[in-house]
Amino acid sequence: MNSTIGHLVRALRRYWGVVAALSVLLVAGAVLAFTSVADVDDPAPGGGPTHTQSVLFIGDSYTQGPTTPDQSYGCLTATELGWKCAIAAQGGTGYLSGGPEHRVSLGQSAPPSTSFVERLPGLREQYQPDVIVIDGGRNDTDFDMSEVDRTFADTVRKVIKSWPSSRVVVIGPWFLKEPVIRPPALAGRTIGDEFQSVLRSSPDFDAVHFIDPAALGWFAGIDPSPYLSDDGIHPNSQGVKKISELLTSALKNEGLANRS
């Protein structure tokens, strides 16, 4: 009799243990589901969800920002437009630079550098942005221009293929103290002119928005000193704010600011 009671007690303990475990899993699942929805959609006044625009910037140290990504001109622009922002940037990289045969050092403990196109598979898994901004090419101007053109076109095509429903923006290469870059190989033409020619060469790129700081006159005729960091190359906090203003205006002029 005592043996039978003991078996019953142990069976009941196992039963209630399973019930408790299932309860914990159900609660955890509900919390995760709620968090996922809350991250993507903001509640509208009428009770239904309203989609918040998101943007992904792919670029180099200029794109990365002077301190943290949220203080980059990309994310300051996104904040101004009411968008969510993500930054995928590595210093010294570009369409060719940072990639195969053109790796750059990111520090002893840092992972290997990556060109823009090498980042796409991982970014595609992580982000589904409404807008993708490719902001680079500064570190590619010393390479053979025909190779740069091919890699640039290949990168933009793969961005379009990776996010077919997203709007794609390309920012032409520029520096704050050198907004107009004229590589010797282009015989007086700007790198912005070259990139625009590539984008016009195929109907694949008809929907791509191109922003050329050189053609738009960013920082033209202005003393850049107040906007530069101590290295004389990258923007300081004041420079980042100014670039954000210029980029916000350019995106609005492209008709991207208020589209859903």
Q: How far is CA 258 from the centre of its chain?
A: 19
Alpha carbon distance 132, 53 (integer Å): 11
d(CA 140, CA 99): 11
110 or 93: which carries more pLDDT confidence?
Answer: 93
Residue for token pair 């700007």: 190
Confidence of residue 174 (pLDDT cuts 50, 70, 90): very high
Average pLDDT over every residue of 220-249: 96
Confidence of residue 17 (pLDDT cuts 50, 70, 90): very low
End-to-end Cα spacing for the chain = 72
- How far apart are alpha carbons 137 and 147 in whole angstroms? 12
pTM: 0.80
Superfamily holding 52-253: SGNH hydrolase (3.40.50.1110)
- Of 179, 189, 173, which is closest to residue 220 (Cα–Cα)? 179
Ranges of each domain in the chain = 2-43, 52-253
Distance CA 38, CA 8 (A): 45
pLDDT at 166 over 70: yes
Span 23-68, pLDDT tens digits: 333 333 322 222 222 222 344 445 556 789 999 999 999 999 988 8
**In angstroms, what CA-CA distances link 141 with 11, 158, 183?**
74, 21, 6
